């Protein structure tokens, strides 16, 4: 979640060390560790794909809690917002790299995953840069005023935003599970569930 610059106790001197130890930022460090472990397991220990998925999803869910903690404890910071954004983009890029590897025999899918990495990073950068140049937050109504209706809808409609973010991320997770299940054989019920899930999540 985005974090506005802190406004706590104007008379207090908040140092860089204080910011580094903010509770939401500690959650952010844990998210980074979980992502690194999950991607390492996916690439180096694919037989532990189930553990890798648990760690990856835990990192993704942590994105909700660091924002909640920032608001609850009034520990908002520019560093926290940057940490959150970089973690999100790197986590998604890492999983898409893994998918390119898992589906390397299908060149069209491998190319698609590569293009999605480029699209994810470039689109977020463009949105951040264009709104920051106007001194607006990239999710704010003012920052998105006059933009293409899908962009406004994406950032200003929480249900649509949630469906796109969660749906896209869990589509990638489901595709990874499907690749592992197909490679290992068996898991008939799980495979069927994942295939049905993809029908609902892929549009995101």
The model's pTM: 0.84
| Section 95-122 average pLDDT | 95
Active-site residue set:
88
Q: Has residue 26 got a pLDDT over 80?
A: yes
Nearest residue to 98 via CA among 20, 7, 179, 168: 179
Task: Please tell me the least confidently modeled range out of 40-44, 124-128, 175-179.
Answer: 124-128
Nearest residue to 59 via CA among 80, 77, 25, 32: 32
Tokens of 201: 């999540």
Residues 6+ apart with CB under 8 A from 110: 100, 103, 104
């Amino acid at each position: 979640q985005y974090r506005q610059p802190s406004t706590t106790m104007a008379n207090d001197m908040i140092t860089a060390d204080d910011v580094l130890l903010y509770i939401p930022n500690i959650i952010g460090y844990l998210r980074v560790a979980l992502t690194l472990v999950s991607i390492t397991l996916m690439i180096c220990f694919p037989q532990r794909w189930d553990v890798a998925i648990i760690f990856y999803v835990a990192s993704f869910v942590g994105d909700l809690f660091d924002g909640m903690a920032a608001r609850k404890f009034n520990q908002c910071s520019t560093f926290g917002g940057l940490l959150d954004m970089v973690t999100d983009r790197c986590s998604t890029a890492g999983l898409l790299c893994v998918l390119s590897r898992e589906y390397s025999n299908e060149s069209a899918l491998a190319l698609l995953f590569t293009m999605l990495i480029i699209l994810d990073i470039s689109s977020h950068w463009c949105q951040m840069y264009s709104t920051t140049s106007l001194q607006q937050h990239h999710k704010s109504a003012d920052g998105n005023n006059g933009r293409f209706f899908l962009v406004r809808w994406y950032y200003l409609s929480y249900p649509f935003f949630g469906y796109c973010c969660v749906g896209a991320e869990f589509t990638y997770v489901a595709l990874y599970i499907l690749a592992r299940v197909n490679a290992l054989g068996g898991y008939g019920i799980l495979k069927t569930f994942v295939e049905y899930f993809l029908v609902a999540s892929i549009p995101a």
